[in-house]
Amino acid sequence: MRYLPHTPEDIADMLKAVGAGDLDDLFASIPPQCRRTKEMNLPEPLTEWELNRHMDSLAKSNADPTDHKIFLGAGMYDHHIPANVSYLLGRSEFSTAYTPYQPEISQGTLQAIFEYQTLTARLLGMEVANASMYDGASALAEALLMAVRISRGKKTTVAVSGLVHPHYRRVVETYFKPTGFKVVELPWNDGRTDFSGLGDVSDLAALAVQSPNFFGCIEDLGPAAKTAHDAGALFITGFSEPLAYGLYNSPGSQGADIVCGEGQSFGIPKSFGGPGLGMFTARQKFVRFMPGRLIGKTTDRNGERGFVLTLATREQHIRREKATSNICSNQGLCATTAAMYMATLGGEGIRDLARLNYDHAEYLKSALRSAGVEIPFSPPTFNEFVAKFPDGFEKKHAALLDKKMVAGLHLKPYYPDLSNHYLLCATETLSRDDMDALVKEATS
């Protein structure tokens, strides 16, 4: 069946109803120079088998990640995905479910998102979680705007650590540019944020810190929260690797007011960089300032448990001036994936996996240090760390790629002072032999 199975008679009736003579009249408001008048330059159609061969040839132009040893994190992480997660996600009840506006026919989707919210709030040590955001970057930008709303517009400056993921900071700049609010970037020292200059920032609505930060270092969140609160600001903790909180204390237990970040690690393949999952949590007292939407649990008139869309303060639901966000959708399928992943591993499983990831990165760090590679930062890390290689390592890095090893991310494009510094990641997907091979090749 065609997607729009209208007959010529149907089309004629609709055109008559809107007072148009033909279909071209519908586009009369578009200037002629902005219209396409030529046929699209498309190749001749292919048979199913010819198309398969063509797609296979295109796929071969990309490196196969299963055939490479990838020591690259920087916001997207390789983790094993349990088979049951992939299987359950492929069921049509989940993969074709749409926005749950009608609870009487959407109980499965609503319950899945409610379970996601519960597991997310527990992991991050917070009181309430929304039904997810687009990704970690937009979640952080929305959190900062939320902080300004909480101040009732009396405070219009936010401070963001220079060790927040560079892409996240770019998104924050994009969000804030038309608002008139000010974004201040804080410096760093020895792999952690330097808060010494925060006292000079007036009119502060929020302080945002990422932990683990972009260098993989764990920030000291307790003192950071105190610094923010002493300045009369909210404390926001961001992250790009939520698995770290299976091992380290949750941000909520250390004084965070809003916690948000990227949830890709929880069962979502990297898939060329997307889609992701914006995890977003806050204190209960701020729930009506939250962006996005929130699923709640209730009972029907028969006393049976049910789930409903409880809060949806979006501009498609309420007046624009009262809306908390223009985010029009949540990442429902990705949130369901994360819920399945967290439920599959359970609390002990997440702790064990986090410890395994920590151990892998520490083994690689120690092996590189023993081989003469400088590890410039001293704070504890998770999953990834910075290593400083000798001058000229760029050529070695390219040579390693030819040997099917991705030896981390060069930091100079993001931090110009960090020439020859590389961000290396080691998750449970890499074996000891893989890490030993990298050390041998990188230092020979």
- Any idea what the CATH number is for the domain that residue 91 is in? 3.40.640.10
Instruction: Tell me: do 111 and 170 sit in the same domain.
Output: yes
User: Does residue 316 surpass a pLDDT of 70?
Assistant: no
Rounded percentage of the chain residues whose pLDDT exceeds 70: 97
Instruction: Tell me: do 255 and 390 sit in the same domain.
Output: no
User: Does residue 70 surpass a pLDDT of 90?
Assistant: yes
**Comparing C-alpha atoms, which of 281, 259, 277 is closest to residue 268?**
277
Instruction: Tell me: do 246 and 374 sit in the same domain.
Output: no
What tens digit of pLDDT does each residue of 118-138 get?
Answer: 999 999 999 999 999 999 999
Instruction: Tell me: do 312 and 243 sit in the same domain.
Output: yes
Please report whether residue 2 resides in a domain. no
Tell me what the mean pLDDT of segment 209-213 comes to: 98
Instruction: Tell me: do 282 and 164 sit in the same domain.
Output: yes
Give Cα separations from 313 to 88, 109, 220, 292, 329 (angstroms).
31, 20, 34, 7, 12
What tens digit of pLDDT does each residue of 99-109 get?
Answer: 677 788 888 88
Please report whether residue 12 resides in a domain. no
Q: How far apart are CA 306 and CA 425, in angstroms?
A: 43
User: Does residue 148 surpass a pLDDT of 70?
Assistant: yes
The lowest-confidence range among 91-95, 199-203, 204-208, 320-324 is: 320-324
Higher pLDDT among residues 95 and 295, named by residue? 295
Instruction: Tell me: do 119 and 171 sit in the same domain.
Output: yes
Please give the pLDDT value at position 3.
Answer: 64
Give Cα separations from 192 to 71, 164, 198, 301, 385 (angstroms).
22, 10, 14, 54, 12
Cβ 157 vs Cβ 204: under 8 Å: yes
Number of domains in the chain: 2
Instruction: Tell me: do 114 and 144 sit in the same domain.
Output: yes
Domain that holds residue 263: 83-342
Tell me what the mean pLDDT of segment 193-205 comes to: 91
User: Does residue 113 surpass a pLDDT of 60?
Assistant: yes
* Residue where a domain stops, chosen among 307, 324, 342: 342
Please give the pLDDT value at position 315.
Answer: 62
Instruction: Tell me: do 277 and 331 sit in the same domain.
Output: yes
* Residue where a domain stops, chosen among 342, 357, 382: 342
Give the SS3 label for residue 439. Answer: helix
Please report whether residue 411 resides in a domain. yes
Please report whether residue 17 resides in a domain. no
Higher pLDDT among residues 221 and 326, named by residue? 221
Please report whether residue 409 resides in a domain. yes
User: Does residue 327 surpass a pLDDT of 90?
Assistant: no
**Which amino acid is it at 91?**
R
* Residue where a domain stops, chosen among 323, 342, 361: 342
Please give the pLDDT value at position 66.
Answer: 83
Q: Is the dihedral of CA 355, 126, 78, 112 positive or negative?
A: positive
Instruction: Indicate left, alpha or beta for 273 from its phi (over 0: left) and psi (-120 to 50: alpha).
Output: left
Strands (E), 253-292: 258-262, 278-282
Instruction: Tell me: do 163 and 260 sit in the same domain.
Output: yes
pLDDT grade for 380, boundaries at 50, 70 and 90: very high
Tell me what the mean pLDDT of segment 19-38 comes to: 90
For residue 168, the tally of other CB atoms under 10 A from its CB is 26
Q: How far apart are CA 339 and CA 88, in angstroms?
A: 11
pLDDT grade for 2, boundaries at 50, 70 and 90: low
Instruction: Tell me: do 181 and 69 sit in the same domain.
Output: no
What tens digit of pLDDT does each residue of 422-439 get?
Answer: 999 999 999 999 999 999
pLDDT grade for 329, boundaries at 50, 70 and 90: low
Please report whether residue 40 resides in a domain. no
Instruction: Tell me: do 212 and 327 sit in the same domain.
Output: yes
Instruction: Tell me: do 95 and 73 sit in the same domain.
Output: no
Q: How far apart are CA 193 and CA 163, in angstroms?
A: 7
Which two structure tokens, joined as six digits, stand for 415? Answer: 């931090």
Give Cα separations from 351 to 31, 102, 243, 244, 426 (angstroms).
60, 37, 8, 9, 17
Q: How far apart are CA 277 and CA 242, in angstroms?
A: 11
pTM of the model: 0.88
- List, in sequence order, every residue forming a beta bridge with 299; answer none if it has no partner: 305
Higher pLDDT among residues 236 and 67, named by residue? 236
Highest mean pLDDT among 4-18, 258-272, 314-328: 258-272
pLDDT grade for 155, boundaries at 50, 70 and 90: very high
Please report whether residue 274 resides in a domain. yes
Please report whether residue 7 resides in a domain. no
Please give the pLDDT value at position 312.
Answer: 81
Which two structure tokens, joined as six digits, stand for 155? Answer: 């405070």
Please give the pLDDT value at position 98.
Answer: 66
Report residue 16: phi and psi, to 5°: -65, -40
pLDDT grade for 1, boundaries at 50, 70 and 90: very low
The CATH number of whichever domain residue 393 belongs to comes to 3.90.1150.10
